[in-house]
Amino acid sequence: MTVAKGKQRTGGWFSNLKPQTRDNIVGYTFLLPNLIGCMLFTFLPVVFSLLISFTDWDYTKGFGNWNFVGVQNYLDMWQDEWFVDSLINTLVYTIAVVPITIFLALVISVLIDKYCFAKLPIRLAMLMPYISNVVAVAIVWVMMYSSFGPVTLLVKALGVENPPQWLADYTWAMPAVILMSIWSNVGYSALIYTSSIQGLPQDVYEAADIDGAGELTKFFRLTVPFLSPTTFFLVITNVITSFQIFAPIQIMTRGGPGTSTYVLVYYIYRSAFGYYKMGYASSMAWILFILIFIVTMIQWRQQKRIHDY
């Protein structure tokens, strides 16, 4: 404001502008640092990746050293077994992780809220996997899944004679990664639910008590609907992060055995930095973006249809 006033007094090009324009200039000047950051590190790379997704760029050949190949990359990927497997695995992973995580988080947060002593330490403990370094978590889980690890010993104790070698097994590697992801994500979702639960209107519950509603009825008829905006938020964020899973795969399985845990982001990474196919990797990244975009749009629509909060 002081800047604007000072300029006004001296008179000049700035004070001759319309007040609305002046306000805009001042406003955007304040936004400028952020805008520059956004332009440089988000907008430009996005445009650039779209551009190179239509080329055969090998990034070691230097900037500008590329041929335009049209939509060839976008057509090729559907013939590429590794891409298709990665896509399927990513979908399987997301479909398994998101609902289970959210359901567990909801149940756990309600239970802790109602029936638990020492709520704070328990909530903190549940959040630990989420705030711990993902690399450390993944390595600990590699140990857990080893032949002498607790998971294998537990399964043996339950009477299975030859438990699978989880991370080296074509069938079990993916479930093993999924289990780890659920474990490490559930704390965060539970935390978000907990804060919503604490804000729920108590009078409605009292009314339900007077009407003689049981605990289960209250849970399904009151708590779940009341929490649906939170659920919606968690579904969207969890779906997006699930589509982008990378670090646990890189550390625990490197996509193996075979292609059984290859996921999209891991394959994009291998294509770009292992095979130097930057153009192809970019086109896959765009497919991933479109996929996330569509899923999110569908969720928005569903959300609007069910509730209008």
Partner 1 sequence: MKKKQLASLLLSTAMAASLLCACGAPAETTTTGETAGTEGSGETITLHMWGGVPAESGPQAACDAFNEAYKDKGIQVEYERFVNDDTGNVKLETNLMGGSEIDLYMTYTMAQLTKRAEGNMALDLTELCERDGFVLTDYLGELANSYNINGKPYSLPCKLDQYGMVLNKDMFDAAGIEIPTEWTYDEFLDICKQLTHGEGADKVYGVYWNSQQDMMQYAQYLISQTLGGDNMYTADGTATNFTDPVWEETISLISTTMNEGYAPTHADSVTEKLSQESMFLGGKTAMTIGPWMVRNIKDTATYPHDFVTAFAPYPVIEEGQRNYTQGGYGDFLCINPRSEHIDAAWEFAKWYLTEGGIYLAAGGRVPAANTYDLEAVTAEFLSGAEDLFDAESLQRVLIEPHDNYAAPSITTKSNELSDIANQQLEAIYTNQVSVADSLAKAKADGDAALAG
Task: State whether the Cα torsion 81-82-86-92 is positive or negative.
Answer: positive
Query: Phi and psi at residue 70, in whole multiples of 5°?
Result: 65, -140
User: In degrees, to the nearest 5, what angle opens at C-alpha 247 toward C-alphas 52 and 235?
Assistant: 85
DSSP state of 148: T
In angstroms, the CA 81 to CA 246 distance is 19
**Greatest C-alpha distance within the chain:** 89
What is the per-residue binding string for partner 1 in 256-285, x denoting contact by CB under 8 A? xxxx----------x--xxxx---------
Asked if 175 touches partner 1 (CB under 8 A), the answer is no
Nearest Cα to Cα of residue 155 among 137, 175, 170, 135: 175
CA distance 154 to 292: 37
Q: Least Å distance between CB 307 and partner 1?
A: 31
Smallest distance, Å, CB 280 to partner 1?
10
Determine if 291 is a binding residue for partner 1 (CB under 8 A): no
Piece of 22-30, 120-128, 197-205, 296-304 that binds partner 1 (CB under 8 A): 22-30
Residue 25 near partner 1 by CB under 8 A? yes
Amino acid type, 191:
L
Q: Which helix (H) or strand (E) covers residue 304, if one does?
A: helix 278-306
306 touching partner 1, by CB under 8 A: no
Which contiguous run of DSSP H or E holds residue 162?
none
Q: Which stretch binds partner 1 (CB under 8 A): 30-38, 116-124, 291-299, 301-309?
A: 30-38
Residues 69, 108, 167, 268: which binds partner 1 (CB under 8 A)?
167
Task: Considering only residues 52 through 81, tell me which ones interact with partner 1, judged by CB under 8 A.
Answer: 58-62, 76, 81
Residues 228-257, interacting with partner 1 (CB under 8 A): 256-257
Chain positions contacting partner 1, by CB under 8 A: 20, 24-25, 28-29, 31-32, 35-36, 39-40, 58-62, 76, 81, 142, 145-148, 165-170, 256-259, 270, 273-276
